[in-house]
Amino acid sequence: MINVIAEKSVDFTSPEVLAGYAATAIVAVVGLLLTIFILKKVLFKPLKKIMDERQREIDEAVEQNNRQSEALAERESKMKRLEDEQQEALDQKRRELETRLAQKEAEILARAEEEAQTKLNEADRQIEHRQKGEEERVYQEAVDLAISAMSQLYDRELSNEEALALERSIGKEGSLEA
């Protein structure tokens, strides 16, 4: 039986068997090349096209994002500059108002001092006027008292001429001050 199996066994190195292997290999390689060609046309080319389109969209989105970021940064700097200008204008306005307020205060203070000085002068004038009036009244009382004292000394009333003479003599001496 071994003989039968040995006779029936094929020599793997025979040219017919090797030709069969070569034909199978050629068919397999052609099939592989054909499959690669078909896959390249049917699958890889559209897939590459889709991937390129996606990459282009991503690149456009990134570029648009960069432009928007630049525009945003420009707007922020412009807003910052405008805020700084507005703050400077407000500071300038505040300084002007403070200057005006100080001037108004100085004017009001000067006016108040002037009015106070005027009132003080008027009060001094009134005091002086009252003082003169009081001095005159005290002087008149002193004259009347002197006339009365002289009348009691002489045990009679002084005549008008004597009273006038006495009054003149008191006025010349300035006895109230001394």
* Tens digit of each residue's pLDDT (9 = 90 or more) over 77-126: 999 999 999 999 999 999 999 999 999 999 999 999 999 999 999 999 99
User: Degrees (nearest 5) of the Cα angle 145, 150, 156?
Assistant: 115
More confident: 167 or 174: 167
Q: What is the pLDDT of residues 141-171, one digit of tens each?
A: 887 777 777 777 666 676 777 777 777 777 6
* CB count in 10 Å sphere of residue 143: 19
Q: Which one-letter amino acid corresponds to residue 23?
A: A
Q: In angstroms, rounded to a whole number, what is the distance separating the alpha carbons of residues 116 and 43?
A: 106
What span, in angstroms and rounded, lies between the C-alpha atoms of 1 and 79?
103
**Mean pLDDT value across residues 27-37:** 94
Place of tokens 């190195």: 13
How far apart are the C-alpha atoms of 104 and 100, rounded to whole Å? 6
User: Can you give the pLDDT at residue 98?
Assistant: 95
pTM: 0.39
